[in-house]
Amino acid sequence: MTVDPSIALAARLLGALVFVAAVGGKIRHRHELAGVVANYRLLPQRLAAPAAWMIVGLECLAALSLISGLRLRTGAVLSIALLGGFALAMSINLARGRREVDCGCFQSGLRLRLSAALVARNAVLAASLTPLLAARAGSGGALQWVDGLGAGLAAYALYQVSGELLSLRHFSAQLRRRFA
C-alpha cells in the first residue's frame, strides 16, 4: 500500500512543526523542564533531569527525520511512541486524580493542565502520523506539494489553536473561582 505524497507531506509537516515547537519550548523553559518531568511522579527524582533531556533529544531526532525524510518510518515510529508515552503519562496522572500537573508541552503562553482533551489531542496527533508508516520516498507533483503544505500547515494551526483553547479554558475557570 502506498500513501498519497500530499498526505505524507502533510503528516511530516504537522509532526515536524509540533516537535520543533516542543523542543523550542523545552529549551526556552529549560530551568523548569526537570521539575515538570518530576511532577509527573513516574520516575525517581534523581532521574527527572536525565529523562527530561532524553525526551528533548528524542524529539529532536523525530523532528529531524520528519523534516529530512531520512529514516522516515523510524522517525514516524519514534514520533508515535513519544506521543503515546506522553498520553500514557498524562492518563496515569489523571487516573490518580492529579489534574493540576503542567503537561510540559511548553507550547502555550499559559500552562496546560492535564485533561482527557490533551490525551485525546495526542492520540489524534499520533494517528495523523500513521500514514508515514506506509509512505514511500517520492516527491510527487507540484500540486501534491501545494496540497501537502497547505494541509500540514492547516493541521498545525488547528493543533496550536486547540492548545490555546485548552489553556484559556483552565485559565478562565481559575478566574471564575477567584472572583466568584
Decide: 74 and 65 in contact? Cβ < 8 Å.
Answer: yes
**Which pLDDT does position 143 carry in this prediction?**
83
**Which pLDDT does position 66 carry in this prediction?**
96
Measure the CA–CA gap between 136 and 162, rounded to whole angstroms: 30
Domain span at residue 142 reads: 5-179
Decide: 156 and 14 in contact? Cβ < 8 Å.
Answer: yes
Closest of 156, 82, 93 to residue 122, by C-alpha: 82
**Which pLDDT does position 97 carry in this prediction?**
94
Q: Which residues in the chain land under pLDDT 70?
A: 1, 107-111, 137-139, 170-175, 180
Mention every residue, 6+ apart, whose C-beta is less than 8 A from residue 129: 11, 14, 15, 76, 79, 80, 83
**Which pLDDT does position 100 carry in this prediction?**
84
Decide: 80 and 125 in contact? Cβ < 8 Å.
Answer: no
Cα 143 → chain centroid: 28
Give per-residue burial for 8-42: e unless 16+ CB within 10 Å, then b: bbbbbbbbbbbbbbbbebbeeeeeebbebbbbbee
CA dihedral sign, ordered 137, 142, 147, 152: positive
**Which pLDDT does position 3 carry in this prediction?**
84
Total domains in the fold of the chain = 1
Give per-residue burial for 131-152: e unless 16+ CB within 10 Å, then b: bbeebeeeebeeebeebbeebb
Measure the CA–CA gap between 69 and 75, rounded to whole angstroms: 8
Task: List pLDDT tens digits, range 140-166.
Answer: 788 888 999 899 999 999 988 888 887
